[in-house]
Amino acid sequence: MSYVSRLDYCQVLLVTQTNYTLTYFAEHKPGYSHDAVKQYLEADTVTAGRVWESVRRQVVVSEEGYLAFDDTVLDKHSSFKIELVRRQYSGNAHAII
């Protein structure tokens, strides 16, 4: 069993189109187990400060703009009317919503 790194996990997130579960990761990355991914996620801490340090050079400051982060996946029947909403896999629904 291999040790899971942040790079491993982020690469899977970047290339995965519909399924972000630990089981999916383990099934598609030889040498990794569901438990190894779970242990990595439990131990790794990504603070707001670390995220900001990583992206701040890419943010264009503007009096007219806002930057919002939201990792919530909600099944909203009227979401097609919301400009920036995209379809995403929901582990709870086991489907793309």
Mean pLDDT of 48-62: 86
Q: What stretch of H or E contains 35?
A: helix 34-43
Instruction: Please state whether the predicted TM-score (pTM) of the whole model is above 0.75.
Output: no
Q: Quick one: what percent of the chain has pLDDT higher than 70? A: 81
Question: What Cα–Cα distance (Å) separates residue 14 from each residue in 8, 22, 44, 61?
Answer: 10, 14, 18, 26
Place of tokens 């491993």: 8
Q: Which residues span the domain enclosing 66? A: 6-96
Q: What is the pLDDT of residue 36?
A: 87
Query: Would you say residue 1 lies in a domain?
Result: no
Higher pLDDT, 68 or 65: 65
Q: What is the tally of structural domains in the chain?
A: 1
Q: What is the pLDDT at residue 48?
A: 78
Give 82's pLDDT tier (boundaries 50, 70, 90).
low
In this model, does residue 1 exceed pLDDT 70? no
Domain presence at residue 66: yes
